[in-house]
């Protein structure tokens, strides 16, 4: 008996024979157009081997290997598989996906999982790579103070804040996954984007639809919740140390008090972004607004309160500067979330996850992405005129702003053209690249290296 399974470039099953149904124990109607081929393999094998197998198949015409597979009932078996790339019949014969032919074998197949894969497993479960969205605003304020002069902030407080924000971000990621699985959001999502081999930096990363770590068997639902609670405790311990250090640095509880309030808001948003009964991600734009504030102005302001060596007075110039510096980064982070809502549109609408793309529709929502980008770039003009020195202002005007406008034009054009197509994945990836590129240049200019 042979299993023959055909999938598209993202691994979505498009066809299979009766042997595949019998071998893996699934009804074809539960697989075709719904599931990815990754569900047939142990999660660690998927992370460590599958992309390499596909790359070899593309380069040589086929890849043959022995591996272990998982049936629907959870039992495993050894098999040999031949993977070949499939092509369309058109003029240019573009690749359309892959064909896997599998045969059960009566032998033990031991695929050793290396330490790198175990690290990647942790990255996949926690989605720690996306923590840059919360760390860049922290580093931005560190660079801002460094650019203003010496001894304006505590390096120890900056270090503690970095770890505290990281722990709370992972806490949020894990609980978002936990509740999305619990509420059936992930199960309903069959059109999510995975970077696959489309990105050398984000290779294999989940762009939308959650981490899929539970689905791949990388961690249990209970384990996800337990790990989230561990991250919360670590974040709470670090936050307590930050507040104490703020008091020692300033001789006042003022900064610590406001840092604590902002931290509580961040934890609230992180937990209730997907948790009922509030579920901000389904509240008609409140999710997008909360992401902008939490990863933008509130985070830069909270970081300022946490790391500065002086007391920051409410509504002072310094207070407003810290808020304003978070606006462009917050908007670009929101755009990452926003464009990732496009592939999730159908499933999110089905389960009542009423974010802005579901509320307004894919076509009209394109303008929100464009407006966010325009305001982010426009805010740079204000920052260059009102916060920066002359040299920094010129670097904004002649480097960061023009390059950002060119990159933004590319992104907006792609979204407007491919908003209803799987081709959009390239622009999802580049939205992340743009955020990274922008943040690095932004921080370098603020640091005022001369």
The answer to whether position 410 is within a domain reads yes
Q: What is the pLDDT of residues 269-304, one digit of tens each?
A: 999 999 999 999 999 899 999 999 999 999 999 999
CB atoms within 10 A of CB 170: 26
Q: Which two tokens stand for residue 246?
A: 């703020």
pLDDT at 10: 87
| pLDDT of 186 | 84
Could you tell me which residue, 293 or 188, shows the higher pLDDT? 293
pLDDT digits (tens, 9 = 90+) for 1-38: 899 999 998 899 999 999 999 999 999 999 999 899 99
Q: Which domain holds residue 267?
A: 119-447
- Residues 95 and 228 both lie in one domain: no
Same domain? 318 vs 378: yes
- List the CATH number of the domain containing 256: 1.10.600
Looking at 104, 138, 155, the residue that finishes a domain is: 104
Comparing 187 with 50, the larger pLDDT belongs to 50
Straight-line distance from the first to the last Cα atom of the chain, in angstroms, rounded to the nearest whole number = 70
* Per-residue pLDDT at 190 exceeds 90: no
Report if residue 109 sits inside a domain.
Answer: no
Query: What percentage of the chain reaches a pLDDT higher than 90?
Result: 87
Predicted confidence band of residue 189 (pLDDT cuts 50, 70, 90): confident
Q: Are 271 and 296 in contact (CB under 8 A)?
A: no
Residues 347 and 426 in one domain: yes
Indicate the pTM of the whole model: 0.93
Determine contact, residues 336/313, Cβ cutoff 8 Å: no
Range list of H helices, 295-344: 297-307, 317-325, 327-339
Question: Could you tell me which residue, 416 or 90, shows the higher pLDDT?
Answer: 416
* Pairing assessment for the beta strands 63-70 and 2-8 based on DSSP bridges: unpaired
**Dihedral, CA atoms, 112, 115, 116, 121, nearest 10 degrees?**
90
Task: Answer yes or no: are the C-beta atoms of 190 and 210 closer than 8 Å.
Answer: no
Q: What angle do CA 175, 212, 298 make, to 5 degrees?
A: 40
Residue 113 lies in a domain: no
Give the domain-ending residue among 62, 77, 104. 104
**pLDDT tens, residue by residue, 330-345:** 999 999 999 999 999 9
- In sequence order, the 6+-apart residues with CB closer than 8 A to the CB of 83 are 53, 54, 57, 62, 63, 64, 65, 98, 99, 100
Residue 351 sits in the same domain as residue 271: yes
Q: Give a yes or no: residue 389 inside a domain.
A: yes
Mean pLDDT over 224-245 rounds to 97
Whether residue 142 is predicted with pLDDT greater than 70 in this model: the reply is yes
The rounded distance, in Å, linking the Cα atoms of 287 and 293 is 10
**How confident is the model over 142-159, as a mean pLDDT?**
95
Confirm whether 417 is domain-assigned.
yes
Last-in-domain residue among 104, 133, 153: 104
- Distance from CA of residue 97 to its chain's centroid? 25
Number of domains comprising the chain: 2
**Across residues 64-86, what is the average pLDDT?**
95
Q: Which two tokens stand for residue 270?
A: 């992180």
Once rounded to an integer, what is the mean pLDDT over residues 402-425? 97
**Are 126 and 256 found together in one domain?**
yes
Beta bridge partners of residue 86, listed in sequence order: 97
Predicted confidence at residue 91, as pLDDT, reads 55
Neighbours of 300 (CB within 10 A): 25
Are residues 267 and 280 in contact, defined by beta-carbon separation less than 8 angstroms? no
Q: Are residues 82 and 163 in the same domain?
A: no
Is 164 within 8 Å of 22 (Cβ atoms)? Answer: no
Mean pLDDT over residues 208-214, rounded? Answer: 89
Q: Which two tokens stand for residue 74?
A: 């959870």
Selection from 343, 339, 405, 407 nearest residue 369 by Cα:
339
Q: How confident is the model at residue 127 (pLDDT cuts 50, 70, 90)?
A: very high
Measured in residues, the chain has a length of 450
Shared domain for 91 and 166, answered yes or no, is no
- State how far the Cα of 82 lies from the Cα of 150, in Å rounded to an integer: 62
Q: Are residues 339 and 378 in the same domain?
A: yes
Contacts of 324 (CB under 8 A, 6+ apart): 297, 379, 382, 383, 386, 387
Query: Is the domain of 266 the same as that of 372?
Result: yes
Let me know whether 37 and 127 are in one domain.
no
CB half-sphere exposure, 69, CA atoms < 13 A: 23
Average pLDDT over residues 365-369: 97
Residues 85 and 153 in one domain: no
Provide the token pair at 194: 């995975």
* Average pLDDT score, the chain: 94
Q: Where are the alpha helices (DSSP H) in 251-294?
A: 254-272, 286-294
Distance CA 102, CA 110 (A): 17
* Domain of residue 16, CATH code: 3.30.450.20
Q: What is the pLDDT of residues 341-361, one digit of tens each?
A: 999 999 999 888 999 999 999
Q: Is pLDDT at 263 greater than 90 in this prediction?
A: yes
Band (207; pLDDT cuts 50, 70, 90): confident
Asked if the model's pLDDT at residue 185 lies above 70, the reply is yes
Determine which helix (DSSP H) or strand (DSSP E) holds 81, and give its type and residue range. Answer: strand 76-87
Does pLDDT of 184 surpass 90? no
Is it the case that residue 205 has pLDDT exceeding 90? no
User: 450 pLDDT exceeds 70?
Assistant: no
Give domain status of residue 114, yes or no: no
Answer yes or no: do 155 and 266 share one domain: yes
For tokens 């992401």, what's the residue? 291
């Amino acid at each position: 008996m042979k299993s023959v399974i055909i999938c598209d470039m993202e691994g979505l099953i498009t066809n299979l024979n009766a042997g595949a149904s019998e071998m893996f124990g699934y009804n074809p109607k539960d697989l075709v157009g719904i599931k990815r081929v990754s569900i047939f393999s142990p999660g660690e094998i998927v992370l460590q081997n599958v992309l390499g197998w596909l790359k070899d198949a593309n380069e040589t015409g086929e890849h043959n290997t022995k591996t272990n597979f998982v049936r629907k009932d959870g039992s495993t078996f050894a098999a040999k598989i031949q993977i070949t790339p499939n092509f369309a019949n058109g003029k240019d014969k573009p690749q359309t996906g892959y064909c896997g032919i599998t045969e059960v074998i009566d032998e033990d197949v031991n695929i050793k999982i290396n330490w790198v894969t175990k690290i990647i497993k942790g990255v996949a479960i926690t989605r720690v790579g996306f923590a840059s969205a919360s760390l860049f605003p922290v580093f931005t304020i560190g660079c801002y103070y460094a650019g203003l002069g010496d001894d304006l902030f505590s390096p120890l407080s900056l270090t503690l804040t970095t770890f505290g924000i990281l722990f709370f971000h992972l806490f949020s990621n894990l609980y978002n996954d936990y509740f999305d699985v619990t509420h059936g959001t992930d199960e309903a999502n069959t059109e999510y984007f995975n970077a696959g081999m489309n990105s050398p930096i984000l290779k294999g990363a989940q762009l939308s639809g959650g981490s899929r770590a539970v689905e791949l068997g990388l961690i249990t639902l209970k384990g996800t919740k337990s790990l989230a609670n561990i991250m919360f405790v670590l974040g709470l311990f670090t936050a307590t140390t930050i507040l104490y250090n703020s008091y020692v640095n300033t001789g006042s509880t003022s900064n610590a008090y406001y840092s604590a309030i902002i931290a509580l808001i961040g934890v609230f948003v992180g937990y209730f972004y997907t948790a009922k009964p509030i579920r901000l991600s389904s509240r008609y734009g409140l999710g997008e607004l909360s992401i902008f504030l939490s990863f933008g102005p509130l985070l830069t302001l909270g970081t300022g309160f946490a790391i500065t060596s002086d007391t920051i007075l409410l509504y002072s110039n310094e207070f407003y500067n810290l808020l304003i510096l978070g606006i462009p980064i917050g908007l670009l982070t929101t755009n990452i979330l926003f464009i990732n809502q496009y592939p999730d549109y159908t499933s999110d609408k089905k389960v009542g996850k009423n974010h802005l793309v579901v509320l307004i529709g894919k076509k009209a929502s394109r303008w929100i992405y464009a407006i966010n980008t325009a305001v982010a770039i426009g805010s740079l003009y204000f920052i260059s005129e009102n916060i920066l020195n002359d040299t920094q202002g010129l670097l904004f005007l002649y480097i960061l702003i023009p390059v950002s406008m060119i990159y933004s034009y590319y992104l907006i054009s792609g979204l407007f053209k491919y908003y209803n197509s799987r081709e959009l994945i390239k622009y999802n990836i580049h939205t992340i690249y743009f955020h990274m590129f922008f943040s690095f240049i932004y921080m370098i200019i603020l640091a005022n290296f001369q």
